Chains A and B, each alone.
Chain A
Amino acid sequence: MPSSASEPPASQPYDLAVIGAGPAGLAGAVTAAGLGLSVALLDASEHVGGQFYRHPAATLGAVRPEALHHDWAAFAGLRRGLEASGVSHLAGHHVWSVTGQDGDWAVHAVTGSDGGQERPVRVRARALLLATGASERQLPFPGWTLPGVVGAGGAQAMLKSGLVLPGRRVVVAGSGPLLLAVAGSLAAAGARVPAVVEASGYLRYARHPRVLATNPYKLVEAVVHGGALLRHRVRPLPRSAVVAAHGTDRVEAVTVARLDRDWRPVPGSRRRIACDALAVGHGLAPQIDLATALGCATRRTVDATAALVLGDGQETTVSGVWSAGETGGVGGSRLAIVEGELAALAIASRLDGQTELPQSRRAVRLRRGRDRMRAFADAMAAAHAPAPGWTQWLPDDTDVCRCEEVTAGRVREAVTDLGAGDARTVKLLTRAGMGWCQGRMCGAAVACLAARGGGPVPPPAERRPFAVPVTLGALAGLDADAAPGNPTDD
């Protein structure tokens, strides 16, 4: 049983504190407990599963929660593992800080559904596994603050946990493989999804046939999504973006434009699509605040997010702190599980006094799996990396910072007139990123504007022959032939 152990005796630290009970943290905690470690597993949520395995509360009586997931069996296994383990699952614990040093960490949390009040808790542990996942990246456009415009992952999360939709006719837009999953689920749950608007294309997946071929699981996933889209008559619009949302008190329509290679809207390619909601997101960015506060080094990913630098055994650059899942670079739930397990093996061996990484068959197999899946994730990330031209769909009067209502014009002014060269200086000058969310929503956009529109440029494409199964091929083909559509100005 997951004991609801609140605080361990002050004199007795846990062997391991795991922060985050998504696929990575769950796998790490269950594996570590299986190896004999005492483990505390903390998560802000009342439910385990993280973002991918979000599911309705028991009182909602879902008989088939797996209908919203394509890999439910793996989660069911982890959940059984957790129940059978001695892991102290500390649900509803919002971790706000970690202090200490190798061998003696203190994890500080507040409890409650939104962590706003209630009890402060401190959990001590000899080793630390950070598995805090990712958050969605947003690139602003006029109208993105209208009610009915929601994060793509956010719409997915609300659907999975609350069985609700933001509207009846939902356009899905942005960039990244998650959009296909979101469109598939929204449509399966009864929403009409007139279009999935993807700023990149699917063509470049097809240029990595070998990476794809070594990843049967991911292929299956893509096929599943591809099939679902056809069944629900969802129209993919590659190389396009929602450049405006319209409405007064809620979204009533969006304008979609074709994009050139640099993500600049193509003149004359605008068309309007009626909808009552828009689910939008430009991929995910690792959530690494706790780690960076501890001094863990980061690297720039191929799609211009910051991820933790990790060693072969998932250890960060701070001794005694390990990490698994999206924090080391976005790669999906399967990779998260493998990394969680691998981190647990490495931690157990370190706590046992070993200095070398474990070389067991299991460890070697996990490392291979991880490397293969990372390569695939990088190929995907490269295919969806934002190109600098996107700032052309951002007029001066559009709010960039949702919290402090700071417009693009004010940010640009700070950059050009006042010489701000980075997001930090822009923040000090304009308050962008200083509000409630602390720049989580506007950070990517502000960084691009501070780089004077010379934002992240995707790495050059490699030319490779197509060698992919039919649905991926179909997606790729769509990208190649997509016509500009009926240009109608809004």
Chain B
Amino acid sequence: MARTPAELVGAQPEPPFEITLDGRPVPALPGQTVAAALWSAGILAWRTTRVGGRPRGAFCGIGQCYDCLATINAVPNRRACLVPARPGDAITTQEGHGRAELSV
């Protein structure tokens, strides 16, 4: 019986690279979204809410809930469950609003 998702599908991924969350290195596999890379590292929250300051991360997993918003390379309000991780990406915990308004 498989012990990991990668084992289940017989994954032979390309070599991992590094992204950072608030400066802390996190490995990512090419083809993973930012949220998937963070989940892999056991990180489930990368945002705090505007009113209660509560921690949040990915919830719907498919781009509909906007709970996974992160600041990626200084651009706020990006949906981490949709954005593919790229080598060297700097993710920062987003507090409250971030900055720019969402256009969609």
Contacts and interface: CB of A to CB of B under 8 A. Distances in A.
Q: Do A and B bind each other?
A: yes
A42 to B, nearest CB: 14
Contacts of A150: 58-61
Contacts of B3: 190
Interface in B42-99: 44-45, 49-52, 54-67, 69, 75, 77-79, 81-84
A96 B5 contact: no
A437 B56 CA distance: 14
Contacts of B35: 158, 162
Interface string B27-40: 00111110111011
A59 interface: yes
Interface in A54-86: 56-65, 67-68
A212 B83 CA distance: 41
A149 B103 CA distance: 27
A147 B49 CA distance: 12
B45 A114 contact: no
Nearest to B40: A164
Contacts of A114: 63, 78-79, 82-83
A67 B8 contact: yes
A51 interface: yes
A165 interface: yes
Interface in A84-123: 94, 96, 110, 113-117
A115 B29 CA distance: 22
A44 B63 CA distance: 9
B40 A154 contact: no
Given A162-B32, A189-B5, A249 B61 contact: no
B60 A135 contact: yes
Interface string A416-459: 00000000000000000001110011000000000000000000
B65 A163 contact: no
Given A149-B59, A441-B59, A250 B32 contact: no
Nearest to A186: B5
B31 A58 contact: yes
Given A57-B31, A116-B102, A164-B36, A405 B52 contact: yes
Contacts of B78: 114, 116
Given A116-B103, A135-B64, A158-B81, A147 B56 contact: yes
Classify the secondary structure of B's interface with A: loop
A224 interface: no
Classify the secondary structure of A's interface with B: loop
Contacts of B57: 147
A163 B67 contact: no
B66 A437 contact: yes
B13 interface: yes
Question: Which of A57, A59, A60, A188 is the most central at the interface, judged by chain B CB atoms within 10 Å of its CB?
Answer: A60
A147 B52 CA distance: 14
B4 A60 contact: no
A61 B59 contact: no
A157 interface: yes
Nearest to B52: A405
A163 B12 contact: no
A166 B39 contact: yes
A290 interface: no
Given A56-B31, A94-B104, A163-B5, A61 B11 contact: yes
Nearest to B85: A162
A235 B60 CA distance: 24
A61 B8 contact: no
Nearest to B72: A114
Contacts of B7: 190
Interface in A120-140: 135-136
Interface of B: 1-14, 29-33, 35-37, 39-40, 44-45, 49-52, 54-67, 69, 75, 77-79, 81-84, 102-104
9 smallest beta-carbon distances between A and B, as pairs:
A162-B36, A154-B61, A57-B31, A436-B66, A63-B10, A59-B31, A59-B30, A147-B44, A61-B12
Given A162-B33, A166-B39, 17 more contacts: A57-B32, A59-B29, A60-B32, A62-B11, A63-B9, A68-B8, A116-B77, A153-B61, A154-B61, A161-B33, A162-B35, A163-B32, A189-B4, A189-B5, A232-B1, A250-B44, A403-B66
6 contacts: A44-B63, A59-B30, A114-B82, A156-B61, A163-B5, A405-B51
